[in-house]
Chain A
């Protein structure tokens, strides 16, 4: 096994262990909250998932920009953008799901057309569209350029999602961690569980993107080899004819 593969496996196993510890801390060690009671336990995983979604779309946008700029245009940026967007969609889906499970006992509904929820759903749809665009058969460069532009346009929604709780005074509370003053409004063992959740899910995201990127790169290299093989075979046939 190469050093790279060992490192990736290490990241994956660490992420898994840290997620397990987050669950253990969240379910058994931390006390119920004063107002929310046991419902607070969902919050050890819900904000970290939302954070990963932001991070993933940020990475997709940065990689897309690097791909669009001709000096830095490399296949790798396009593949990283795609891998990160896939992880982003996965974590956005989980954010909506965990939020919905929390919302049922807290608000009495699985879903409400609150500004934050709606803009998150729009974000989910935006990147589903981005992934749908990538699935359409076309040349590699064309796909790379077109999806990079779509990623740039889609990223405009990310600040809207984050700021919607301030702009529209929504039902959803303001962020306890990623707030403008960066003043974390969680304390004691609860803060440690939440912090661990953030680190654990970030590690999981890194492992997911890394694995997906390597798979996509191998697929692209295989496609290149197949094209080269087809050209060689065709040339051989032409030579025999001549």
Chain B
């Protein structure tokens, strides 16, 4: 299973490296979202500083959703997924590989995004380890359930995925936002219960994803 996961992750990352979708489309898109938020809050830095954690996670969610859609779409081309299933490739390995590749891609996106937000919204990044750790765990939570739901909605139109995904991952996004809020306020102790909630949900989604991904491929 782990071997399949590594191969799958390498394959997806290599495809991403060649196609540069993250660089050419997702990154510019998230910056458009940041600018739109700035317009929405009348470009008032004091308000933007206050709402930075929420803006960061909403923007990251959009980026994650694009990454997840792409991860499933590349398997649809030339019926690659059918081929993998026919060859008897371990679905759990495929699932973990895809999750890993998405998490790596989104971490890159988050590094750029947080730097952008720190500069544009005047929000210096404190407690970097807490912020990075919570981002990593939240990415796993969103990517796992995202891969499952992207498989469920594959070929059914683009609007279904966000409709299903956003409500499901809202506890993860909410917890991550709170952890970031306390991290940016330099109050890491207050972030502890939210961190526990974040880890709990991400774990539940990871286990659920591992259990049902084989059935998703069947469907």
Contact = CB atoms under 8 A, between A and B. Distances in A.
B212 A157 contact: no
A117 to B, nearest CB: 13
Contacts of B106: none
Interface string A136-155: 10100110011111101110
A153 B145 contact: yes
Interface in A140-183: 141-142, 145-150, 152-154, 156-157, 160
A interface secondary structure, majority? helix
A145 B212 CA distance: 11
A94 interface: no
B204 A133 contact: no
A129 B164 contact: yes
A51 B215 CA distance: 30
A122 interface: yes
Given A126-B167, A129-B164, A157-B167, A149 B219 contact: yes
B167 A136 contact: no
Nearest to B213: A149
B152 A150 contact: yes
A95 to B, nearest CB: 16
A68 interface: yes
A136 B160 contact: yes
B163 A132 contact: yes
Contact of B218 (A133, A136, A145, A150): A145
Contacts of A146: 152-153, 216, 219
A145 B218 CA distance: 8
A116 B156 CA distance: 32
Contact of B164 (A133, A141, A142, A148): A133
Contacts of A231: none
A133 B152 contact: yes
21 contacts: A122-B167, A123-B167, A125-B167, A126-B167, A130-B164, A133-B153, A133-B156, A133-B164, A141-B219, A145-B218, A146-B152, A146-B219, A148-B215, A149-B212, A149-B215, A153-B208, A156-B168, A156-B201, A156-B205, A157-B167, A160-B171
| 3 interchain residue pairs of minimum CB distance | A145-B219, A129-B164, A126-B167
